[in-house]
């Protein structure tokens, strides 16, 4: 599994709208669902007083994610621009592969 993790800091007062758009069922999730190979998206809210949220986007493969980006570049850029006012900061943490347990 191919996993992409982002860290976001919503603008003060925009947290609720940020959560609506970035959580499962939000605009990003709905766009991703149109792509073959999309598995899920998850929004994590901080448990303490910090402001950094994490999104975890899961794809069946790096190729599926690459195809999504290629085929949906305009829609992706439009959503990014539309929701830019919701975030003060966004950082791509990285891309990861899920480790499968060794069969014994």
The CATH number covering residue 47 comes to 3.30.70.100
In the numeric block, the tokens 């085929």 are attached to 71
pLDDT, tens only, 22-80: 999 999 999 999 999 999 999 999 998 788 999 999 999 999 999 999 999 999 999 99
| Nearest of 99, 16, 98, 33 to residue 72 by alpha carbon | 33
Largest Cα–Cα separation, the chain? 51
pLDDT classification of 98: cutoffs 50, 70, 90:
confident
pLDDT classification of 102: cutoffs 50, 70, 90:
confident
- Name the domain count of the chain: 1
Q: What is the pTM of this model?
A: 0.90
Q: Within a domain: residue 32?
A: yes
Q: Within a domain: residue 12?
A: yes
pLDDT computed for residue 51 by the predictor:
81
**Structural domain range at position 11:** 2-97
Query: Could you give the CA distance from residue 76 to residue 28 in angstroms, rounded to a whole number?
Result: 8
Helix (H, G, I), strand (E, B) or coil at 85: helix
Helix (H, G, I), strand (E, B) or coil at 38: strand
């Amino acid at each position: 599994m191919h996993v992409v993790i982002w860290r976001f800091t919503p603008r003060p007062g925009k947290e609720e709208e940020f959560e609506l758009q970035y959580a499962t069922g939000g605009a990003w999730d709905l766009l991703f669902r149109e792509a073959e190979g999309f598995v899920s998206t998850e929004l994590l809210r901080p448990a303490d007083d910090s402001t950094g949220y994490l999104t975890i986007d899961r794809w069946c493969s790096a190729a599926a994610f690459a195809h999504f980006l290629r085929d949906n570049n305009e829609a992706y850029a439009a959503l990014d621009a539309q929701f830019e006012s919701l975030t003060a900061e966004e950082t791509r943490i990285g891309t990861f592969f899920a480790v499968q347990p060794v069969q014994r």
